[in-house]
């Protein structure tokens, strides 16, 4: 067996080496503390493998992203969202019959519990849709308790989660604009149902534009999984306590909301608007982003794993051009985004640090073209990510190495001192 040698204070330790199917190599430190009495220090876990996973493969240096072995370029824009969700969770592309049955079940299980619908009335008018989504998903555990050892129960609750996340999202929007709720139909695809629930009125038939349905399918698939990102790691962290699937996934939704993660898509739009209103002075914003003492960053730029390009951003950039051309839309913010990208990519700071546009840079322009309001962007990310979170939750349940997740720390506080009470 290949091992790594570690020498601490003159003493040698042999640590086993683990190699993944794509040759990713890790040093197995599980016995480190017991044998050598030390721990590792890795804030942000940039060098820590928390699990073995067979779901998604990323090569950040080469800009490679694969779901269950399939390159993202062969899935996004080619598969329907429901098919890709099945692939993500069950590990293979469904047959035609399986696909039709699965799609039907996702719709039949997409009705929000009637008592839960009342919840929408009680959120503050200021509630962000991500706040509503996280709370509603968390509350699903009280409506749908399940037997964790029963596979049928688990599968039913998976269908509920994927089915209802889009209903909750659409209802929160309808509530905010004072429109009546619209329910999904079994003769519509997942993406078409979502668009219908967002934009139809009960007064007339709503025909979902095909190009919008296709664009939404592609967007959702691009966001479906990204191995151990912050929200997925959160889902794993929470479920390592044996908490239920709804509690685990709602924790993931809250992690996604942050603007360094999924919240970046909303922040990008705010930034592009600000740049446009401020005279399109790109250099000013690039310079601001470089300043150490300025909290401003170029939103939609940079990535923990991709150090070359983000393949999702590449697909999206082409898709934005295609969709806007097809719809006959000219969005001035697309010009702002492209100009900003060009200026940043020529700058030594961004070149040296290998900072490129990520998935959130162009996705907002596409959402805008679909008529999705800016505050719903991160909710769309969550709908796309749902099958990924579930796949990780499932994989974790069967992982023989599973232990409650509980990192260590290096204590840097006061040494022992004593409190003496005054007489
Ligand atoms: N603008 C300006 N400087 C940046 C940016 C940026 N967007 N991203 C990274 N840097 C700098 C950073 O200041 C650091 O500089 P230095 O070496 O001088 O200290 C260097 O690049 C390395 O960055 P880091 O912060 O150590 O990288 P990280 O892996 O910890 O963070 C990130 C990754 C995505 C949080 C970060 O790049 C960022 O904040 N980007 C903007 C927010 C964003 O677009 N988030 C979406 C991420 S992709 C989709 C998702 O996860 O939801």
pLDDT tens by residue, 306-331: 998 999 999 999 999 999 999 999 99
What local confidence, expressed as pLDDT, does residue 93 receive?
A: 98
pLDDT tens by residue, 192-211: 999 999 999 989 999 999 99
Atom 51 in ligand 1: which residue has the minimum CA distance? 261
Per-residue pLDDT, averaged over 208-225, amounts to 97
What local confidence, expressed as pLDDT, does residue 100 receive?
A: 95
**DSSP strand pairing (3-8 vs 64-67):** unpaired
What local confidence, expressed as pLDDT, does residue 266 receive?
A: 96
Say how far apart CA 107 and CA 190 lie, in whole Å.
Answer: 8
CB 310 within 8 Å of CB 358: yes
Q: How far is CA 245 from CA 130, 146, 241, 379, 412, in A?
A: 18, 10, 11, 19, 36
Please give the torsion angle defined by the CA atoms of residues 65, 70, 73 and 75, in that order, rounded to the nearest 10 degrees: -120
What local confidence, expressed as pLDDT, does residue 221 receive?
A: 98
Say how far apart CA 144 and CA 15 lie, in whole Å.
Answer: 45
Return the best residue to mutate from 228, 289, 302 for the ligand 1 pocket (most ligand atoms within 8 A of CB). 302
pLDDT tens by residue, 357-367: 999 999 999 99
What local confidence, expressed as pLDDT, does residue 202 receive?
A: 87
Atom 10 in ligand 1: which residue has the minimum CA distance? 302
Per-residue pLDDT, averaged over 31-50, amounts to 97
What local confidence, expressed as pLDDT, does residue 82 receive?
A: 98
Atom of ligand 1 nearest to the CA of 305: 29
pTM reported for the whole predicted model: 0.96
Q: Write the CB contacts of 266 (distance below 8 Å, at least 6 apart in sequence).
A: 259, 364, 374, 375, 377, 378
Residues taking part in catalysis:
303, 360
CATH number given to 3-65: 2.20.28
From ligand 1's centre to the CA of 364, what distance in Å? 19
pLDDT at 302 over 80: yes
pLDDT tens by residue, 230-282: 999 999 999 999 999 999 999 999 999 999 999 999 999 999 999 999 999 99
Beta bridge partners of residue 65, listed in sequence order: 58
What local confidence, expressed as pLDDT, does residue 297 receive?
A: 97
What local confidence, expressed as pLDDT, does residue 148 receive?
A: 87
Cβ of 303 below 6 Å from ligand 1? yes
pLDDT at 388 over 90: yes
Beta bridge partners of residue 71, listed in sequence order: 66
Say how far apart CA 257 and CA 129 lie, in whole Å.
Answer: 10
Cβ of 297 below 6 Å from ligand 1? yes
> What is the average pLDDT value for the chain, to the nearest integer?
96
Cβ of 264 below 6 Å from ligand 1? yes
Per-residue pLDDT, averaged over 11-23, amounts to 97
Cβ of 302 below 6 Å from ligand 1? yes
What local confidence, expressed as pLDDT, does residue 96 receive?
A: 97
Cβ of 299 below 6 Å from ligand 1? yes
Domain ranges of the chain: 3-65
pLDDT at 123 over 90: yes
Atom 29 in ligand 1: which residue has the minimum CA distance? 304
At residue 7's C-alpha, the angle toward residues 5 and 13, to 5°, is 55
Q: What is the 3-state secondary structure (H, E, C) of the chain?
A: CCEEEEEECCEEEEEEEEECCCCCEEECCCCHHHHHCCCCCCHHHCCCCCCCCCCEEEECCCCEEEECCEEHHHCCCCCCHHHHHHHHHHCCCCCHHHHHHHHHHHHHCCCCCHHHHHHHHHCCCCCCHHHHHHHHHHHHHHHCCCCCCCHHHHHHHHHHHHHHHHHHHHHHHHHHHCCCCCCCCCCCCHHHHHHHHHHCCCCCCCCCCHHHHHHHHHHHHHCCCCCCCHHHHHHHHHHCCCCCHHHHHHHHHHHHHCCCCCCHHHHHHHHHHHHHHCCCCHHHHHHHHHCCCCCCCCCCECCCCCCCCCHHHHHHHHHHHHHHHHHCCCCHHHHHHHHHHHHHHCCHHHHHCCCCECHHHHHHHHHHHCCCCHHHHHHHHHHHHHHHHHHHHHHHHCCCCCCCCCCCCCCCCCCCCCCCCCC
From ligand 1's centre to the CA of 25, what distance in Å? 25
Please give the torsion angle defined by the CA atoms of residues 355, 357, 360 and 366, in that order, rounded to the nearest 10 degrees: 170
pLDDT tens by residue, 89-119: 999 999 999 999 999 999 999 999 999 999 9
pLDDT at 423 over 80: no
pLDDT at 1 over 90: no
Atom 18 in ligand 1: which residue has the minimum CA distance? 292
What local confidence, expressed as pLDDT, does residue 280 receive?
A: 96
Cβ of 208 below 6 Å from ligand 1? no
């Amino acid at each position: 067996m290949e091992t790594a040698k570690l020498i601490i204070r003159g003493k040698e330790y042999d640590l086993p080496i683990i190699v993944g199917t794509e040759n990713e190599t890790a040093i197995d430190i599980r016995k480190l503390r017991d044998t050598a009495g030390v721990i590792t220090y890795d804030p942000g876990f940039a060098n820590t493998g928390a699990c073995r996973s067979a779901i998604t493969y990323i090569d950040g240096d080469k800009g490679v992203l694969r779901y269950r072995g399939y390159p993202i370029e062969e899935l996004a824009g080619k598969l329907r969202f429901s098919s890709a969700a099945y692939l993500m969770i069950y590990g293979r592309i469904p047959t035609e019959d399986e696909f039709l049955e699965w799609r039907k079940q996702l719709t039949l299980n997409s009705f929000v519990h009637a008592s839960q619908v009342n919840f929408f009335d009680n959120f503050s008018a200021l509630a962000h849709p991500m706040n509503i989504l996280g709370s509603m998903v968390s509350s699903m555990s009280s409506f749908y308790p399940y037997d964790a050892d029963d596979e049928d129960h688990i599968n039913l609750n998976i269908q509920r989660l994927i089915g209802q996340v889009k209903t909750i999202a659409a209802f929160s929007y309808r509530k905010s604009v004072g429109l009546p709720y619209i329910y999904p139909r079994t003769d519509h695809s997942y993406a078409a149902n979502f668009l219908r629930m967002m934009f139809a009125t009960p007064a007339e038939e709503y025909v979902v534009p095909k190009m919008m349905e296709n664009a939404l399918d592609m967007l959702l698939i691009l966001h479906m999984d990204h191995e151990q990102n912050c929200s997925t790691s959160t889902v794993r962290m929470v479920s390592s306590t044996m908490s239920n699937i709804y509690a685990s996934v709602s924790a993931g939704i809250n992690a996604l909301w942050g603007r360094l993660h999924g919240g970046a898509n909303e922040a990008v739009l705010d930034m592009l608007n600000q740049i446009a209103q401020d005279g399109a002075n790109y250099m000013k914003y690039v310079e601001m982003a470089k300043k150490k003492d300025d909290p401003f960053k170029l939103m939609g730029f940079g990535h923990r794993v991709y150090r070359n390009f983000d393949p999702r951003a590449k697909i999206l950039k082409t898709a934005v051009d295609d969709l806007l051309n097809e719809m006959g839309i000219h969005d001035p913010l697309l010009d702002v985004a492209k100009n900003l990208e060009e200026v940043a990519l020529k700058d030594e700071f961004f070149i040296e640090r290998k900072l490129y546009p990520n998935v959130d840079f162009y996705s907002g322009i596409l959402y805008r073209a679909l008529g999705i309001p800016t505050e719903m962007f991160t909710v769309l990310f969550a709908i796309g990510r749902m099958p990924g979170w579930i796949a990780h939750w499932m994989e974790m349940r069967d992982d023989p190495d599973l232990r409650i997740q509980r990192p260590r720390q290096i204590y840097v506080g006061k040494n022992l001192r004593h409190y003496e009470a005054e007489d």
